Amino acid sequence: MYIIAGLGNFGREYVNTRHNIGFEVIDKLAGQENITLLEMKHKAAIGKGMIAGQKCILAKPLTFMNLSGESVRELVDYYKVDETSELIVISDDISLHVGQLRIRKKGSAGGHNGLKNIIAHLGDDAFVRIRVGVGEKPQEWDLVDHVLGHFSTAERKLMDESVGRAAEAVRVILSEGADAAMNQFNKKAAPAEGGQEK
């Protein structure tokens, strides 16, 4: 069994913000695979189903971003999964260009508070993560304003495409393994209109 956790913040005011891309990928997968996220357990909205021939739990932690590890820890413990091979975490990343994907099997949080909290609760950074680029913070902006802000029309189009690619990357990880997904999806994205290549 796999746990696929997308990170974000619950609440209408956070919908379509940069920080909620993890939630968007989970919603995309749920829609494509006909999985409903109606159960509220382990501090998360969860749904169970089959994806790429594998039993999966889709999860959107309800703890708010900075405490995501509380929910992920409970899920890992309850379902007795091996977090090094059966946990996939999806998050936004401001160090990647808008729409760019980066898949890794381990690594630091890279300044992302949700990932930092998960690493703290698991006691290890060896879990598969899909980072979805949301663009670098403009110099004059506050970081919180940036990650809780919305995309431009051009960026939104790129993000919609990358959410679909991230969902497909999950299926490749489940069917062919993380290395195959890394080879397929860890490519540079074209810069958004007015943006710069990262």
Dmax (CA) of the chain: 47
Of 74-78, 108-112, 139-143, highest mean pLDDT: 74-78
Q: CA-CA distance, 84 to 66, in Å (whole number)?
A: 21
Label residue 152 by pLDDT band (50, 70, 90).
confident
Cα–Cα dist 168/149, whole Å: 26
Bridge-based pairing state of the strands 101-104 and 87-93: unpaired
**From CA 62, how far away is CA 147, in angstroms rounded?**
18
Per-residue model confidence (pLDDT) at position 145 = 62
- CB-CB neighbours of 141 under 10 Å: 12
pLDDT digits (tens, 9 = 90+) for 165-195: 999 999 999 999 999 999 999 975 544 444 4
- Over residues 9-16, the mean pLDDT reads 86
In the numeric block, the tokens 């809780």 are attached to 148
Distance CA 146, CA 92 (A): 12
Dist. CA 187–CA 151, nearest whole Å: 21
State how far the Cα of 115 lies from the Cα of 7, in Å rounded to an integer: 9
For 96-140, how does the pLDDT look when each residue is reduced to its tens digit (9 = 90+)?
888 899 999 999 998 899 999 999 999 999 999 999 988 776 667
pTM here? Answer: 0.90
Decide: 19 and 65 in contact? Cβ < 8 Å: yes
Catalytic positions are 19
The tokens 């598969």 sit on which residue?
128
Is the confidence at residue 85, as pLDDT, over 70?
A: yes
Reading across the β-sheet that carries 39-41, which strands appear in turn? Answer: 39-41, 44-51, 54-61, 2-6, 87-93, 128-133, 101-104
The DSSP secondary structure of 131-178, one letter per residue, reads EEE--PPPTTS-HHHHHTSB--HHHHHHHHHHHHHHHHHHHHHHHH-H
Query: What's the confidence (pLDDT) of residue 156?
Result: 83
Q: Kind and range of the H or E element at 20?
A: none
